[in-house]
């Protein structure tokens, strides 16, 4: 990923800074290593108080926050942050996977929630989505990738000027892919974003839906835009 | 109680539709009922014998008495002078205010001289013992009489009315009938009343066993204050269940903590494999092997996640996320979600959702359960088959059914498929954690909804009664 256009663009403009608040040493090391390998600059804190001080004073693009911390716990940290007007996107990380916990974390001001143990790639993918949302806080009405154009207001999709007929689900799926183009989206992220549920959907649900969308979007005569990233998920990307 | 009866009862799905015959057979199976009825029958037989003896003795005695009287009468008549016999008869008849005496004096030529017997009955022979006959063929033979030859050659018939005998017989028969009826009814009634309690207890034991069989290891067999042999047996079974529960919870917590502990290193392993996979200079043959390893790791992780999901659902606070849920809305989402999955395998996904009242449930969990059911149904249906989802209102609440045209589940495997990790004979090489239905069962237990597996011929029908039934849960 180091050579991806995204990383290059980041390097040109400004370095993306992430704060990792995590008390477990191994997990913290893992997070730092993974983020650094994706070209992020990472700062870390090992307890809630230190994390909160850094979050309030430093200039970070996103924060990963452990839910259970000694001293001040994750929920309190994010609550205080939001109350003092810090709007930095927060990815809550927790060993508690129950829906109630997720709801509590998001209600306190977290932007996304990831259950331990997690695949580092999943964490990066989720952070990327949060960063993207922060960079473009106002949702664009018309999205473009190569010759694919999606009008979110009029709910139309065109590829090379030809209109595509998509079902509502396919439309939502494509919109999610296009709003996060160039980013890897895991199956779990897609399932949560499209249907809003948080369980293991089983079998090959996402693959079937993606296959259906792909048949309509990627016709044999045009270059493929929807890519399967082996071992991770999917990505919509303009051909190089 | 015989164990075979008990186990047969347990195997029966529900006791509602039992007809009278099997109900009686069931009553008969209860020792107390059997004893009471047999005692009643014996008692009735004794009464019949007693009354018959009384009748026999009484009738015999009365007949002998009568015969003696008639003979005495005949002796007296023979002592009369022949020409005074008719006067004697007239006098005797005049004194007989009760009209119990019968006389007939017939001249040697057969002409009747006097008496209330109008013609000489042919059954009576001179010198024979008294016999029974009817004055008139339309009447019962109520007269007992004998015939004597007088010195002048005329025949005298002397008799007594025996309708008393018939009356006594009818009184005794009536007594027999009514006492018999009372004994039979009272015996059966008493038997049934005495058996009601053991029957209720057997029912309670059956219900408790059904709950245990469905995986509720907290349930125990009821023990009555009587401390009889049934209670002794129940106490033994309960002690056994305590031990089973302890072992099961030990196994469960061991497997949960195993899953929990292994998840972290497995996730790290998966991440490490993924990182290696990202290396651009990997030889293809190694990459293939690596991806197989990643796939296997993913399967393991899926299984552990599902296992932990079950214990998470089981340990959940009841009602914490409950609200009013519209099954129609869920069905709409299910169709949208699984329609393409079914279509990709040429399976018809048929939804028949009647408007049903809202259900008190945790929407996320209920959706998870229903999607698991539909996912399973599609998984086990061969290409080109059909999966049907129905929501129908019933008096108690909505009932949801998911039917597939797959190989079905044999009756003896049906409760086992709801257990963790059970992969029934139909699974074969089908992918999956084998935990889908266990997750559904855990969710339904949390809601108190009843989950039933039925033969759909061909295929399997899983239905969910969307109303809480804590007694059954």
> Which element (helix H / strand E) includes B377?
helix B363-380
pLDDT at B399: 92
User: From the list B273, B294, B336, which residue is nearest A169 (CB)?
Assistant: B336
pTM for the model stands at 0.64
CB within 8 Å of chain A, chain B residues 148-187 = none
Q: How far apart are CA A86 and CA B376, in angstroms?
A: 46
Q: How far apart are CA B11 and CA B411, in angstroms?
A: 10
Report which DSSP code applies to B376.
H
Average pLDDT for residues A185-212, to the nearest whole number?
89
Q: Do B375 and A208 touch (CB under 8 A)?
A: no
Picking from A29, A120, A199 by the largest number of B CB atoms within 10 A of its own CB, the best residue to mutate is A199
Asked whether residue B32 carries a pLDDT value surpassing 80, the answer given is no
pLDDT at A137: 66
User: From the list A202, A208, A230, which residue is nearest B291 (CB)?
Assistant: A230
Which DSSP string corresponds to A152-185? TTTTEEEETTEEE---HHHHHHHHHHHHTTTS-E
Q: Which residue of A has its CA nearest to B333?
A: A195
> How near does any CA of chain A get to the CA of B430, in Å?
10
Average pLDDT for residues B113-136, to the nearest whole number?
81
- The ipTM (two decimal places) reads 0.84
CA–chain centroid gap for B370, Å, is: 34
- The pairing of strands B450-455 and B359-362 is unpaired
Angle at alpha carbon of residue A47, lines to A43 and A51, rounded to 5°: 45
Chain B residues in contact with A232 by the CB 8 A cut-off are 274
- The answer to whether the beta carbons of residues B114 and B80 sit under 8 Å apart is no
Torsions phi, psi for B159 (to 5 deg): -145, 170
Q: What is the pLDDT of residues A29-58, one digit of tens each?
A: 989 999 999 999 999 999 999 999 999 887
Asked whether residue B26 carries a pLDDT value surpassing 80, the answer given is no
Closest listed residue to residue B421, CA positions, set B410, B432, B435, B431:
B435
Closest listed residue to residue B316, CA positions, set B470, B212, B443:
B443
Closest listed residue to residue B114, CA positions, set B80, B65, B63:
B80
Chain A residues in contact with B338 by the CB 8 A cut-off are 205
Q: How distant, in Å, are the alpha carbons of A106, B97, B343, B351 from that of B386?
A: 40, 98, 10, 11
pLDDT at B430: 53
- Please, which residues bridge with residue A65 across strands? A21, A92
Asked whether residue B29 carries a pLDDT value surpassing 80, the answer given is no
Q: How far apart are CA B419 and CA B215, in angstroms?
A: 8
Enumerate the H helices of B215-362 as residue ranges. Answer: 229-277, 284-314, 327-344
Q: Is B43 helix (H, G, I), strand (E, B) or coil?
A: helix
Q: Is A191 helix (H, G, I), strand (E, B) or coil?
A: helix
Average pLDDT for residues B245-260, to the nearest whole number?
80
Q: How distant, in Å, are the alpha carbons of A145, B14, B396 from that of B18?
A: 69, 9, 22
CB within 8 Å of chain A, chain B residues 273-312 = 273-274, 277-278, 291, 294, 302, 305-306, 308-309, 312
Q: How distant, in Å, are the alpha carbons of A232, B275, B279, B280, B294 from that of B284?
A: 19, 16, 11, 10, 15
User: From the list B271, B338, B364, which residue is nearest A99 (CB)?
Assistant: B364
Angle at alpha carbon of residue A39, lines to A31 and A227, rounded to 5°: 90
Chain A residues in contact with B308 by the CB 8 A cut-off are 97
Q: Do B268 and A204 touch (CB under 8 A)?
A: no
Q: How far apart are CA B246 and CA B241, in angstroms?
A: 8
Q: Is A64 helix (H, G, I), strand (E, B) or coil?
A: strand
CB within 8 Å of chain B, chain A residues 74-133 = 97-100, 116-121
pLDDT-derived band at B424 (thresholds 50, 70, 90) equals: low
Q: What share of residues in chain B are helix, strand, coil (percent, to 5)? A: 55, 15, 30
Q: Do B267 and A119 touch (CB under 8 A)?
A: yes
Q: How distant, in Å, are the alpha carbons of A4, A146, A206, A237, B203 from that of A240?
A: 11, 10, 26, 9, 74
pLDDT at B43: 81
Q: How far apart are CA A123 and CA A115, in angstroms?
A: 10
Asked whether residue B327 carries a pLDDT value surpassing 50, the answer given is yes
pLDDT at B472: 43
Task: Spell out the long-range contacts of B275-284 with Cβ–Cβ below 8 A and sequence spacing 24 or more.
Answer: B277/A230, B277/A231, B278/A1
Average pLDDT for residues A178-187, to the nearest whole number?
91
CB within 8 Å of chain A, chain B residues 350-379 = 364, 367-368, 371-372, 375, 378-379
Q: How far apart are CA B245 and CA B249, in angstroms?
A: 6
Average pLDDT for residues B430-442, to the nearest whole number?
75
Hunting for tokens 């009602």 — which residue is that? Answer: B319
How high does pLDDT run on average in chain B?
Answer: 82
CB within 8 Å of chain A, chain B residues 44-83 = none
Tell me how many helices (H) and strands (E) chain A has. Answer: 9, 12
pLDDT at B13: 47
Q: How far apart are CA B166 and CA B243, in angstroms?
A: 74
Q: What is the per-residue burial (b if ≥16 Cβ within 10 Å, else e) of B50-60?
A: ebeeebeeebe
Please provide the size of chain A in residues: 240
CA–chain centroid gap for A182, Å, is: 12
Average pLDDT for residues B156-185, to the nearest whole number?
84
Name the token pair of A234.
């999917």
Q: How many CA atoms lie within 13 A of A211 on its CB side?
A: 10
User: From the list A34, A97, A209, which residue is nearest B312 (CB)?
Assistant: A97
């Amino acid at each position: 990923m180091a050579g991806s256009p995204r990383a290059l663009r980041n390097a040109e403009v400004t370095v993306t800074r992430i704060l990792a608040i995590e008390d477990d040493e191994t997990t913290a090391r893992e997070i730092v290593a993974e983020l650094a390998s994706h070209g992020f600059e990472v700062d870390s804190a090992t307890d809630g108080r230190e994390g909160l001080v850094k979050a309030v004073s430093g200039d970070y693009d996103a924060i990963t926050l452990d839910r259970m911390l000694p001293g001040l716990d994750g929920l309190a940290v994010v609550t205080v942050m939001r109350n003092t007007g810090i709007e930095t996107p927060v990815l809550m990380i927790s060993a508690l996977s129950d829906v109630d916990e997720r709801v509590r974390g998001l209600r306190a001001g977290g932007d996304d929630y990831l259950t331990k143990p997690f695949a580092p790639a999943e964490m990066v993918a989720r952070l990327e989505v949060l960063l993207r949302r922060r960079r473009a806080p106002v949702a664009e009405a018309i999205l473009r990738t190569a010759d694919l154009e999606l009008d979110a207001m009029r709910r139309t999709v065109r590829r090379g000027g030809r209109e595509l007929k998509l079902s509502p689900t396919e439309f939502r799926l494509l919109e999610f892919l296009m709003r996060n183009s160039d980013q890897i989206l895991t199956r779990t992220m897609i399932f949560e974003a499209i249907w809003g549920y948080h369980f293991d959907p089983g079998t090959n649900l996402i693959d079937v839906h993606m296959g259906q969308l792909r048949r309509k979007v990627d016709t044999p005569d045009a270059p493929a835009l929807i890519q399967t990233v082996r071992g991770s998920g999917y990505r919509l990307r303009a051909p190089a | 109680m015989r164990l075979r009866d008990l186990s047969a009862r347990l195997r029966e799905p529900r006791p509602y539709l039992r007809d009278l015959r099997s109900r009686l057979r069931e009553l008969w199976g209860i020792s107390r009922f059997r004893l009471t009825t047999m005692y009643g029958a014996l008692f009735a037989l004794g009464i019949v014998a007693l009354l018959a003896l009384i009748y026999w003795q009484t009738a015999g005695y009365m007949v002998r008495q009568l015969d003696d009287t008639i003979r005495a009468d005949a002796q007296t008549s023979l002592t009369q002078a022949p020409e005074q016999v008719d006067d004697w008869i007239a006098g005797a008849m005049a004194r007989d205010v009760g009209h119990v005496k019968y006389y007939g004096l017939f001249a040697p030529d057969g002409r009747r001289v006097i008496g209330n017997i109008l013609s000489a009955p042919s059954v009576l022979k001179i010198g024979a013992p008294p016999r029974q006959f009817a004055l008139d063929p339309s009447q019962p033979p109520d007269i007992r009489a004998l015939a004597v030859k007088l010195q002048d050659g005329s025949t005298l018939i002397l008799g007594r009315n025996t309708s008393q005998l018939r009356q006594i017989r009818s009184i005794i028969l009536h007594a027999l009938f009514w006492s018999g009826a009372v004994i039979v009814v009272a015996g059966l009634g008493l038997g049934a009343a005495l058996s009601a309690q053991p029957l209720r207890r057997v029912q309670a034991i059956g219900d408790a066993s059904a709950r245990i069989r469905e995986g509720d290891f907290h349930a125990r067999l009821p023990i009555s204050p009587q401390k009889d042999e049934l209670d002794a047996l129940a106490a033994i079974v309960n002690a056994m269940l305590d031990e089973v529960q302890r072992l099961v919870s030990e196994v469960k917590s061991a497997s949960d903590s195993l899953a929990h502990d292994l998840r972290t290193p497995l996730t790290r392993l998966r991440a490490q494999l993924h990182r290696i996979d990202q290396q651009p200079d990997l030889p293809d043959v190694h990459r293939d092997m690596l991806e197989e390893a990643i796939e296997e790791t993913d399967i393991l992780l899926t299984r552990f996640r599902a296992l932990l999901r079950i214990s998470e659902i089981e340990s959940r606070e009841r009602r914490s996320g409950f609200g009013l849920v519209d099954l129609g809305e869920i069905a709409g989402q299910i169709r949208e979600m699984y329609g393409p999955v079914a279509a990709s395998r040429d399976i018809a996904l048929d939804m028949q959702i009647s408007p049903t009242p809202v259900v008190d449930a945790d929407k996320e969990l209920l959706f998870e359960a229903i999607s698991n059911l539909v996912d399973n149904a599609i998984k086990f249906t061969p290409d080109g088959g059909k999966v049907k989802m129905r929501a129908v209102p019933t008096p108690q609440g909505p009932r949801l059914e998911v039917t597939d045209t797959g190989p079905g589940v044999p009756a003896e495997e049906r409760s086992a498929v709801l257990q963790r990790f059970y992969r029934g004979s139909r699974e074969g090489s089908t992918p999956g954690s084998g935990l889908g239905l266990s997750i559904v069962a855990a969710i339904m237990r949390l809601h108190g909804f009843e989950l039933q597996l039925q033969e759909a011929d061909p295929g399997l029908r899983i239905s969910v009664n969307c109303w809480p039934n804590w007694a059954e849960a």
